[in-house]
Amino acid sequence: MAGRDERRDTTGSRGSRLLGCAGLVGLAVLGVLAFVLTGPDVRIHPTTGEEFGQLDAVRMLYLHVPMAVLMYVSYLLCAVASVGVLVKRTPWWDVMAHSAAEVGTVLCGLVLVTGSIWGRPVWNTWWEWGDVRLMTTLVLFLMFAGYLALRRTTGDPRALSRRAAVVALVAVLDIPLVNRSVEWWENRTLHQQSTLGDLKIEDLTLFTLMLGFLVLGMVLAWLLLHRFRVGWLERAALDYSVAAAIIERRAETSDTEAYRAVGDPMPDSQVAKGDQS
Amino acid sequence: MTHLGYLITGWGITLGVLGVYAWRLVRRGRHLSVRVPDAHRRWLDDQGPDGA
């Protein structure tokens, strides 16, 4: 639009630009640490003396694990916002729930894909239908895909928000199953139990993993911020288009009534305008 | 380096998907921002929208 400051026509702010730049720099540093400075996973068998381990495939750890944890964070945020939708019933909570669900689903899809790619060299399989963690994660992804599909349906927006909130609250019940599955069904999963709590990993590997959490956390925050603002603008733009249509309709109606009241025939331009509507 | 193909694919897909998703958000935000008055974009004052 002429005369407008283009820098203002964005969902960006000074804070979000700083966050985005920090996230990009962080991703570059993470890449250097993950591919150059950290070593492969090579262990020596205590009895046979043979080398074993994940070798360089372990470098998927620095993306896959932080994304999985941040996926939980995003979905839990969606659950909290969904409670807000049901209790407070304000647009802010609704937009937040929708944004967190969408970003969480992007992360969940990436967790499934990177897990499959990581599993091929380590477990010699792309997918294992009997693995409880894989299946519960897939179910989580499908439930939130259903949530997003529900958000795209038409109908009373307020009723739709409440229904979506209920779906989100049911879907997040799967998160404890995903997270604890390696302990509750340890014989039915290829996944190992958490090594973070026992600090079984080396210093630089641990540092790189923690950096992965921090950097991908910044990326998540940036995505959530912008997705929220886009959702907020979508709602405002819809309100404006409805309000503009009502004003236009009222103006047309009042013109027609005015001409009728004075008994004059309507000009051709007004008749054509009325026909189009 | 072993498993280089898997690593490039895994990292490439992740960074690619996140990059495309971020780019689409920015583009959609620009498109919508033109249609909505500044008053609805409180982040322009570096204050997040807090309609709660």
Q: Which residue has the higher pLDDT, A142 or A10?
A: A142
pLDDT at B24: 96
- The number of C-beta contacts closer than 8 angstroms across A and B is 128
Res. A7: pLDDT tops 70: no
- A112-131 residues touching B, CB cutoff 8 A: 113-114, 117-118, 120-121
Burial of A155 (0-12, 13-18, 19+ CB in 10 A): exposed
Res. A197: pLDDT tops 50: yes
Average pLDDT, stretch A66-95?
95
B3–A121: do the CB atoms touch at under 8 Å?
A: yes
**Residue A90 near residue B51, CB atoms below 8 Å:** yes
Cα A86 vs. chain centroid, distance in angstroms? 21
For A68, phi then psi, to 5°, come to: -65, -45
When scoring B8, B13, B14 by the number of chain A Cβ atoms within 10 A, the one with the most, hence best to mutate, is B14
Q: What percent of chain B has pLDDT over 90?
A: 50
List chain B residues with CB under 8 Å of A11.
25-26, 29-30, 32-33, 41, 43
Tokens of A277: 């509507």
Res. A5: pLDDT tops 70: no
Decide if A217 touches B, using CB distance below 8 A: no
ipTM of the complex: 0.83
Which residues form the domain of A95? 17-193+200-229
Number of domains in chain A: 1
Decide if A229 touches B, using CB distance below 8 A: yes
**Residue A103 near residue A224, CB atoms below 8 Å:** yes
Res. B22: pLDDT tops 70: yes
* Model pLDDT for residues A13-43, shown as the tens digit of each residue: 888 999 999 999 999 999 999 999 888 877 7
Tokens of A237: 């733009």
pLDDT at B49: 46
B13–A113: do the CB atoms touch at under 8 Å?
A: yes
Res. B29: pLDDT tops 50: yes
Distance (Å, rounded) from C-alpha A148 to C-alpha A59? 32
Residues 6+ apart with CB under 8 A from A248: none
Q: Which of A210, A220, A195, A214 is nearest to A38 (CA)?
A: A210
When mean pLDDT is compared across A45-49, A85-89, A144-148, the lowest value belongs to A45-49
pLDDT at B44: 67
pLDDT at B48: 45
Residue A169 belongs to a domain:
yes
Decide if B39 touches A, using CB distance below 8 A: no
Residue ranges of domains in chain B:
1-33
Return contacts of B16-22, CB within 8 angstroms, 24+ apart. B17/A106, B17/A109, B17/A110, B18/A106, B18/A110, B18/A219, B18/A223, B21/A106, B21/A223, B22/A222, B22/A223, B22/A226
Residue A35 belongs to a domain:
yes
Which one of B14, B17, B33 has the shortest CB-CB distance to A11? B33
Residue A271 belongs to a domain:
no
Residue A213 belongs to a domain:
yes
Ramachandran quadrant class, A40 (left: phi over 0; alpha: psi -120 to 50; beta: rest)? beta
A226–B29: do the CB atoms touch at under 8 Å?
A: yes
* Model pLDDT for residues A126-182, shown as the tens digit of each residue: 998 988 999 999 999 999 999 999 999 988 888 999 999 999 999 999 999 998 888
Residue A96 belongs to a domain:
yes
pLDDT at B47: 45
Which one of A60, A227, A236 has the shortest CB-CB distance to B25? A227
Return contacts of A84-89, CB within 8 angstroms, 24+ apart. A84/B52, A85/A161, A85/A162, A85/A164, A85/A165, A86/A162, A86/A165, A86/A166, A88/B52, A89/A158, A89/A161
Distance (Å, rounded) from C-alpha A204 to C-alpha A225? 31
pLDDT at A194: 67
Residue A171 belongs to a domain:
yes
pLDDT at B51: 40
Cα A83 vs. chain centroid, distance in angstroms? 18
Res. A262: pLDDT tops 90: no
Q: Which residue has the higher pLDDT, A114 or A52?
A: A114
List chain A residues with CB under 8 Å of B7.
35, 56-57, 59-60
Fill in the DSSP letter of residue A161: H
3-state secondary structure of A9: coil
Distance (Å, rounded) from C-alpha B47 to C-alpha A16? 11
pLDDT at A254: 72
B18–A223: do the CB atoms touch at under 8 Å?
A: yes
Whole-model pTM: value is 0.83
